[in-house]
Amino acid sequence: MEAYAKTRHVRLSATKARLVGRLIVGKQVDEAKAILKVLPQKASKFIEKTLDSAVANAENNFKMDRDVLYVDKVFIDAEGPLKRVLPKGFGRADIIRKPVSQITIIVKEKEEV
């Protein structure tokens, strides 16, 4: 059984966020939260909120035990950029593209072997 949470329209670069996301894959939920707490990157705050939501979905919707949950997969995809216009000389305009991302975290229960 698995549960997931998705955060959309996050104003950060997907490439930079993937570096943070790779650190928590395969870790227990409490260990992943501890890792995200100490990281200085902006992405760690958004990933931590999404992880909290995925754990809450697992506990409340699927009656999973928090102690045996682990992070199975982390997907960080780029959405279309946020476009802004900056005026330049001679009546021209420059387009500024600001990155926007989407974070998906899947948590599962650890199988007893």
**Number of structural domains, the chain?**
1
The H or E element spanning position 34 is helix 29-38
The confidence score (pLDDT) of residue 111 equals 83
Instruction: Assign residue 57 a region (left: φ > 0; alpha: ψ between -120 and 50; beta: otherwise).
Output: alpha
100 pLDDT higher than 70: yes
Residue 15 is part of which domain span?
2-109
112 pLDDT higher than 80: no
Tens of pLDDT, residue by residue over 31-47, are 999 999 999 999 999 99
The total number of residues shown for the chain amounts to 113
The confidence score (pLDDT) of residue 103 equals 98
**What band does 113 get if pLDDT is binned at 50, 70 and 90?**
low
Tens of pLDDT, residue by residue over 26-85, are 999 999 999 999 999 999 999 999 999 999 999 999 999 999 999 999 999 999 999 999
Domain holding 53: CATH number? 3.90.470.10
Confirm if 59 and 37 have CB atoms less than 8 A apart.
no
